[in-house]
Structure 1
Amino acid sequence: MSTVLIIILVVVALLVIYLITCYNSFVKLNNKIKEAYATMDVYLKKRYDLIPNLVETVKGYAKHEQGTLEKVIQARNMAMNAGSVDERVEGENILSGTLKSLFALSESYPDLKANENFVSLQSDLNRMEEEIASSRKYYNAIVNTFNTKTEVFPSNLIANMFGFSVKPLFEVENENERQNVKVEF
C-alpha cells in the first residue's frame, strides 16, 4: 500500500468519524430540546389547572368584572390549544397579560385579597410562574446551543444534510413587556 492511499483512507475515516459524531450531537441536542419543552409543558399544565380555580374564587367577589374573567379563560384556552411553539409563545404572552390584569383587579377588592383560598391560589400560581421561568431559561439555553451548532461551519453542512434546522426560542413578543416598570407612590 502506498503512503498516499493510507493518508486518503485516514482522512476519509476521520471525516466519517466527524460526520457520525456531529450527527449524534445534533440528535442528543434535539432530544434535550424535546425534554426541556416537555418539562415546561408540565409546569404550564399545572398553571392551566390552577387558573379556573382562581377565576372561580374571583367571580364570587367581583361579579361585575366578567369581561376580565372571560379574557383570562380565553387566553388560557388559546395557550393550552396551541399547535406550534410560536403559537404557544403568543398564547403564553397573552395569558400572562390577562393574569396581571386579574391580580390588579384583586387590588380593588379588599375582601378578595384577604380570602385565604385566593391568597393560596395566588401563591401557588407565583411558584408555578417561577418554575415556568426556570424551565423556559433551560429550554432557551438548549435551543441556543442547538441553533449555534446548526449555523456554524462545518457543522451547518451536516445539519443541512440531515434536515436539522433552527428552533424557535421562548421570547417576549410584546414590546411593552420589555420596558422598565415605573413604580410610583
Structure 2
Amino acid sequence: MGTVSIVLLIIVAVIAVLVIWVIAAYNGFVRLRNMVEEAFSTMDVYLKKRYDLIPNLVETVKGYAAHESGTLEKVVQARNMAASATTIEGKIQGENALQGTLKSLFAIAEAYPDLKANTNFLDLQAQLQRIEDEIANSRKYYNAIVKEFNTKTEVFPSNIVAGIFNFRRKTLFEVNDEREREAVRVAF
C-alpha cells in the first residue's frame, strides 16, 4: 500500500465523517423544528380555549354593565384579531392586544359589586385563570424550544448547515407592552 492510497483513504474517511455530521446536524434541525411546531400547536389549543371562553365572559359582563359597550366591543375585536392570526408574529400581536383588553374587562368588573358576586362570572373568571396558567406554561415550553433551535442556527459549525438548508430563527413569544414588564406595586 503506497502513500497515495493512504492519503486517498484518509480523504475518503474525512469526507465520510463530514457527510455523517451534516446528516446528523440536519436531522437535529428537523427534530427541533418539529418540536417548535408542536409547542406552538399546544399553546394554540389553550389560546383557542380562551377565545371560546371570552364571549361568555363578555355576555355575562354585558348583563351588568351594558353602558360599557365600547370596552366590551374592544375585547371582542381583540379576541377576533388574535383568533384569526395565521402566523406566529400575528398571534403574538393579537395576544398582546387581547391581554390589554381583558385587563379593561376585569377593571369594569371591579366597579360592579353585583357582577363580582355573580357565580357564573366567578366560574368564568376561574376558568380563564386556569387557562391563563396553561397558556403561560405552554409559552415557557415554546420559548425554551425556540431558544434551543435559535441557538443551534447561530452557533458554529451548525450555522453552516442551517444556512445551507435554509433553517431560520424562530420568533419568541414575548411581552411587547412595556407596562406589563414593570414591577407590580402592592399597597395596603
TM (normalized to structure 2)?
0.96
What are structure 2's unaligned runs of at least 5 residues? none
What are structure 1's unaligned runs of at least 5 residues? none
Query: Which digits, 9 at most, give the CA deviation of each residue in 1:56-81, with x for residues without a partner?
Result: 00000001111110110000001011
User: Amino acid of the residue matched to residue 91 of structure 2?
Assistant: R
Listed as ranges, the matches of 1:22-37 within 5 Å are 22-37=25-40
Deviation at 1:115, TM superposition (A): 0.5
Structure 1 residue 146 and structure 2 residue 146: aligned? no
Partner Cα distance (2:116, 2:180) in 1:
25
Structure 1 residue 95 and structure 2 residue 98: aligned? yes
Output the aligned Cα RMSD.
0.8
Structure 1 residue 116 and structure 2 residue 119: aligned? yes
Partner Cα distance (1:22, 1:101) in 2:
47
Partner Cα distance (2:150, 2:28) in 1:
12
- SS at the partner of 2:172? coil
Query: Which digits, 9 at most, give the CA deviation of each residue in 1:72-110, with x for residues without a partner?
Result: 000000101112211110110110111111111111111
User: Amino acid of the residue matched to residue 134 of structure 1?
Assistant: N
What is the aligned partner in structure 2 of residue 155 from structure 1? Answer: 158
Superposition misfits of 4+ residues, deviation over 3 angstroms:
none
Deviation at 1:118, TM superposition (A): 0.3
Query: Which digits, 9 at most, give the CA deviation of each residue in 1:128-178, with x for residues without a partner?
Result: 000000000000000000000001111001001001000000001111111
- Tell me the number of residue pairs that the alignment of Structure 1 and Structure 2 aligns: 185
Structure 1 residue 82 and structure 2 residue 88: aligned? no
- SS at the partner of 1:79? helix
Deviation at 1:121, TM superposition (A): 0.3
Partner Cα distance (1:108, 1:41) in 2:
32
- SS at the partner of 1:142? helix
What is the aligned partner in structure 2 of residue 66 from structure 1? Answer: 69
Structure 1 residue 182 and structure 2 residue 185: aligned? yes
User: Amino acid of the residue matched to residue 56 of structure 1?
Assistant: E
- SS at the partner of 1:183? coil
